[in-house]
Amino acid sequence: MSHTSSRRSFLTKSALASAFAASSLTSFGEGLETAVDRAPLSSSPSDLKITDIKCGYIRNGHSLFVKVHTNQGIWGCGEAVDATPGTYHLVKMMGERIKGKSPLNVNRLFEDVRKAGFFEGAQAGMYISVLSAVETALWDLVGKALGMPVYQLLGGKFRDRIRVYCDTGAYREKDTTPESFGKSAKRAVDMGFTAVKYDIDERNDPNKYDAYNWTASPGELERMYNQIAGVRKAVGPKIDICVDMHGRYDVTTGRRVAKMMEPLNLLFLEEPIPAENPEAYKQIREASNTPICAGENHYLAYGFRRLLEIGAVDIIMPDLQKAGGLGEAQRIANLANLYYVPFAPHMVASYLGAMASSHVCASVPNFLILEWQIYFHEEPMFKEIVTFDGPMVKDGFIPLSEKPGIGVEINEEGMRKYAPKDVPFFV
């Protein structure tokens, strides 16, 4: 591959690798900056420049993949999810803002693009989701250029493998009885997983009062409890169970469900109410001993400040493919660590996003568990759109890649057949 030979040539004639190895990685970003500062100005690192950014989409635009290209044939890959439909021109605009600059200054480029969008929505939503993909691609690019895995650029690792819980996708099945939930949980455990997740917000539950009322009826509450009781019965006491409510209920329901689930000993109850009101989350947390988890729809470290300050949640779960990228994810985790709050990232991306998240999870002390999707095992697309070495997951853990960069590549040809029509594809 052209970028491989370019990287070999790049490293051969560069003094940067030895300088980087000698530098301290004890705090975030310092090792990288020191290595760059020590590199001779005549060496290749000073000549490495961003030349272009290209992107493609799958899932009707809800998954964005970007490639940041350079003048030395080295590229970096990144991914964003959810808040990405219709963002092609936003990607290209961000590309123009970093074109011609050195990719080695990841934090600086992140700040440049974020602050440039101050009046363009750079506080949350689509702007930050797209920036997450670009920032992730920059870390991948730098890792390839320096011959180091991303976790090393983030200050090193606390662990070699990343524990995951399996989102079983049981909510998509027609049969959502306790027996069916239990069978799917047992199947996940037989695959090696030590934790499973189930969604209990059924839109079509005949017991609902109406489509807009956020208060669960007695019939809904009974159904929720019985489903998760079926899981606990099937897997026994030593398997962790996570429960997701997708922010579809009110405080009254959140309190009742949290209290109701106490005998089932959940690892956490995820987002019983929408994301916007930390004080309401605190009411739910104080009502029971069931750990409350939130953060999937919060952006940047700023978005987690209030949750942590007032003790609104027991566990935070930023989605690293939309919360701001890998550097921002580490800042979020470190902020949570000041409050002794565990870090358990949400993850609904491809294996590129899973491995990118894993590098951050390895780099922080307060990591708890990472989300894993059953679709990796059931849908061929997720093996076709990326290339990687080794097994995706083993015995309920993601083996951390030691390859330069993230360790997972975008496979454009594999992705092409899943790309939405009439949307530019890596051009």
- Domain range for residue 213? 161-403
Q: State the pairing for strand pair 63-70/195-199.
A: unpaired
- Side chain identity, residue 52: D
pLDDT band, very low/low/confident/very high, at 171 (cuts 50, 70, 90): low
Answer yes or no: do 231 and 274 share one domain.
Answer: yes
Q: What is the CATH number of the domain that holds 305?
A: 3.20.20.120
Lowest mean pLDDT among 21-25, 264-268, 387-391: 21-25
Q: What pLDDT does residue 372 have? A: 98
pLDDT band, very low/low/confident/very high, at 5 (cuts 50, 70, 90): very low
Give 257's contacts (C-beta < 8 A, 6+ positions apart): 200, 216, 221, 224, 245, 249, 269, 272
- Kindly state the average pLDDT of the residues 270-287: 98
Picking from 86, 120, 148, the residue at the C-terminal end of a domain is 148
Q: What pLDDT does residue 16 have? A: 40
Q: What pLDDT does residue 387 have? A: 98
Answer yes or no: do 223 and 333 share one domain.
Answer: yes
- Residue by residue, DSSP assigns 150-207 as HHHHTT--S-SEEEEEEE--GGGSS--SHHHHHHHHHHHHHTT-SEEEEE---TT-TT
Q: What pLDDT does residue 203 have? A: 87
Q: Flag whether pLDDT at 42 surpasses 60.
A: no
Give 400's contacts (C-beta < 8 A, 6+ positions apart): 149, 151, 157, 159, 160, 161, 162, 358, 359, 362
Q: What pLDDT does residue 28 have? A: 46
Answer yes or no: do 106 and 185 share one domain.
Answer: no
pTM beyond 0.85, yes or no: yes
Give the pLDDT confidence of 26-38 residue by residue, as tens digits.
Answer: 444 555 555 555 4
User: Based on the number of CB atoms within 10 Å of its own CB, is 172 exposed (0-12), middle (13-18) or buried (19 or more)?
Assistant: exposed
- Kindly state the average pLDDT of the residues 73-100: 98
Q: What pLDDT does residue 350 have? A: 98
- Kindly state the average pLDDT of the residues 237-262: 98
Answer yes or no: do 254 and 115 share one domain.
Answer: no
pLDDT band, very low/low/confident/very high, at 6 (cuts 50, 70, 90): very low
Q: Is residue 417 part of a domain?
A: no
Answer yes or no: do 198 and 57 share one domain.
Answer: no
Nearest-angstrom CA–CA distance, 5 and 46 = 19
Structural domains of the chain, count: 2
Q: Is residue 324 part of a domain?
A: yes
Q: What pLDDT does residue 45 have? A: 65
pLDDT band, very low/low/confident/very high, at 174 (cuts 50, 70, 90): confident
Picking from 118, 148, 178, the residue at the C-terminal end of a domain is 148
Give the pLDDT confidence of 344-368 residue by residue, as tens digits.
Answer: 999 999 999 999 999 999 999 999 9
163: number of Cβ within 10 Å? 20
**DSSP letter assigned to residue 296:** T
Answer yes or no: do 204 and 119 share one domain.
Answer: no
Give 371's contacts (C-beta < 8 A, 6+ positions apart): 164, 165, 167, 197, 317, 344, 345, 346, 347, 348
Query: Could you give the angle at the alpha carbon of 304 between the alpha carbons of 302 and 310, nearest 5°?
Result: 115
Q: Is residue 379 part of a domain?
A: yes
Give the pLDDT confidence of 298-315 residue by residue, as tens digits.
Answer: 999 999 999 999 999 999
- Kindly state the average pLDDT of the residues 215-238: 98
Q: What is the CATH number of the domain that holds 47?
A: 3.30.390.10
Q: Is residue 427 part of a domain?
A: no
Identify the bridge partners of residue 367 per DSSP, sorted by sequence position.
343
Answer yes or no: do 270 and 178 share one domain.
Answer: yes
Q: What pLDDT does residue 30 have? A: 56
pLDDT band, very low/low/confident/very high, at 82 (cuts 50, 70, 90): very high
Q: Flag whether pLDDT at 56 surpasses 90.
A: yes
- Kindly state the average pLDDT of the residues 147-155: 98
Question: Are 60 and 85 in contact, with CB atoms under 8 Å apart?
Answer: yes
- Kindly state the average pLDDT of the residues 253-259: 98
Give the pLDDT confidence of 377-408 residue by residue, as tens digits.
Answer: 999 999 999 999 999 999 999 999 999 999 99
Q: Please state, for a pLDDT cut of 70, what percent of the chain lies above it.
A: 89
Lowest mean pLDDT among 32-46, 176-190, 200-214, 279-293: 32-46
Q: Is residue 154 part of a domain?
A: no
Answer yes or no: do 169 and 131 share one domain.
Answer: no
- Please give the C-alpha separations between residue 15 and each of 33, 35, 37, 147, 154, in angstroms, as whole numbers: 14, 9, 11, 13, 21
Answer yes or no: do 96 and 216 share one domain.
Answer: no
Q: Is residue 418 part of a domain?
A: no
Q: Is residue 419 part of a domain?
A: no
Answer yes or no: do 339 and 268 share one domain.
Answer: yes
Answer yes or no: do 196 and 253 share one domain.
Answer: yes
Give 255's contacts (C-beta < 8 A, 6+ positions apart): 283, 284, 287, 288
Side-chain half-sphere of 170: how many Cα atoms within 13 Å?
A: 30
Nearest to 239 by CA among 198, 200, 189, 289: 189
Question: Are 256 and 291 in contact, with CB atoms under 8 Å apart?
Answer: no
pLDDT band, very low/low/confident/very high, at 25 (cuts 50, 70, 90): very low
Answer yes or no: do 28 and 134 share one domain.
Answer: yes
- Please give the C-alpha separations between residue 114 and each of 68, 111, 129, 418, in angstroms, as whole numbers: 17, 5, 11, 30
- Kindly state the average pLDDT of the residues 213-223: 96
Instruction: Tell me what the pLDDT averaged over the chain comes to.
Output: 91
Picking from 120, 148, 176, the residue at the C-terminal end of a domain is 148
Q: Is residue 410 part of a domain?
A: no
Q: What pLDDT does residue 44 have? A: 62
